[in-house]
Each structure stands twice: as C-alpha cells, then as structure tokens.
Amino acid sequence: MIYINLLIAYLKIGLFGFGGGYAMLSLIQHEVVDVIHYGETQPWLTLQEFTDIVAISQMSPGPIGINSATYIGYKVTGTVLGSIIATIAVCLPSFILVLIVGKILLKKRDNIYIKSIFSAIRPVVVGLIASAALLLMNKENFPDYTISIVICLVAFLLVRYAKLHPILIVILAGVAGYLLY
C-alpha cells in the first residue's frame, strides 16, 4: 500500500508542481509531513527530517525535486524500489505533457488563454514558496530563540544581498552549528 501511496503522491507533485523547485517544496511538504496517507497511521516524515532533506538536496548535484523524491522514497519504504517509484512518478506527468503539449505550445505561445493562465499562477507560486518557509519556522528548527534566529537572519542576508551560493551557506551554517551548540 505504501508504494501505491508514494506513487500517487509523487504523480500529484509532478503534475501540479508549477514554478520551480522551491514552489514544489510546498507540495512535497504537504504530502510527506502534513497528510496521513490512506491505510497509514502517521505522516511519512517529521518537519525536522524534511528540513534535513532540503539541506542535503542543496548540497548534492541535481534538481531539488529529484533529490527529495529519491530520498523520501527510500526513507519511507526502506527500499531502493521506493526511491525508483517516487523519482519516476515525479518526472512522468511532465515528461508526457512536454512531449504532447510542448509542440503545440511552441506554435501558440501568444495564445491569450495560455498567457492568462500563467499570469494567474504566478502570484500563487509566490504564496506557495512563502508557505514552505512559514511551515519550517517552528520549534523543531528553532529550538532556542537566540542562536538559531541569528543563523537564519545572517544566512538570509548572505544569500539575498551578498549573493553567496546556497551550498556555501549550508556549509557555513553547519560549521556555526558545530561551534555554537
């Protein structure tokens, strides 16, 4: 059953995951942290485990959507098959859509319906990313209200204004955690 749940969850994520990796995080989070799937007793991951996976994705090659599918697929089933199912499922809907709709879209790029749909989706995507961030601001990730908030603030300033690479931020934060805790 868990394999079918995993397949359905990642097909949904793949089909509705508009707006790139960070927006997709919101969908992934909903499926793996918030929802208790059919026939199961608890969500697949705690919020802390989810945050760790995002961190690991940042430090590994490849898109965050693939990374999280592979990791979560293994984590919830304990098998490589789980990884394979989740990874294929997250790619399958867009693989089919791109092959079928891609050509049509290339010819009708100026279609007013398509333009209207995307101008409606864009503000929602901003909200999705904001919700991914809001959901992670909790006691599990900020157990104290001092050091962790300072780390978050400094990391934000470094990525937004100094334009440091995310991998560098994760490494620096890891060193800071080791030294300060």
Q: Which positions from 137 through 166 interact with another protein, judged by CB under 8 A?
A: 137, 140-143, 148-149, 151-153, 155-156, 159-160, 165-166
Check binding of 3 to another protein (CB under 8 A).
no
Q: Shortest distance, CB of residue 176 to another protein, whole angstroms?
A: 5
Q: How far apart are CA 94 and CA 101, in angstroms?
A: 10
Of 62, 66, 71, the residue nearest 167 (C-alpha)? 62
Q: Shortest distance, CB of residue 6 to another protein, whole angstroms?
A: 14
Q: How many residues bind another protein (CB under 8 A)?
A: 106
Of 7 and 15, the one with the shorter C-beta distance to another protein is 15
Check binding of 4 to another protein (CB under 8 A).
no
Of 144, 139, 155, 153, the residue nearest 180 (C-alpha)? 144
Check binding of 43 to another protein (CB under 8 A).
no
Check binding of 27 to another protein (CB under 8 A).
yes
Q: How far apart are CA 30 and CA 49, in angstroms?
A: 14
Of 40 and 143, the one with the shorter C-beta distance to another protein is 143
Interaction residues for another protein, span 63-92 (CB under 8 A): 63-67, 70-71, 74-75, 80, 83, 87, 90-91
Q: Which position among 38, 46, 81, 102 is part of the footprint of another protein (CB under 8 A)?
A: 102
Check binding of 36 to another protein (CB under 8 A).
no
What Cα–Cα distance (Å) separates residue 130 from each residue in 26, 46, 91, 136, 174?
9, 19, 24, 10, 24
Q: Which position among 6, 32, 45, 54 is part of the footprint of another protein (CB under 8 A)?
A: 54
Question: Which two tokens mark 129?
Answer: 């990313």
Of 4 and 157, the one with the shorter C-beta distance to another protein is 157
Q: What is the DSSP code (8-state) at residue 111?
A: -
Which residue type sits at 69?
Answer: A
Q: What is the DSSP code (8-state) at residue 145?
A: S
Q: How far apart are CA 53 and CA 50, in angstroms?
A: 5
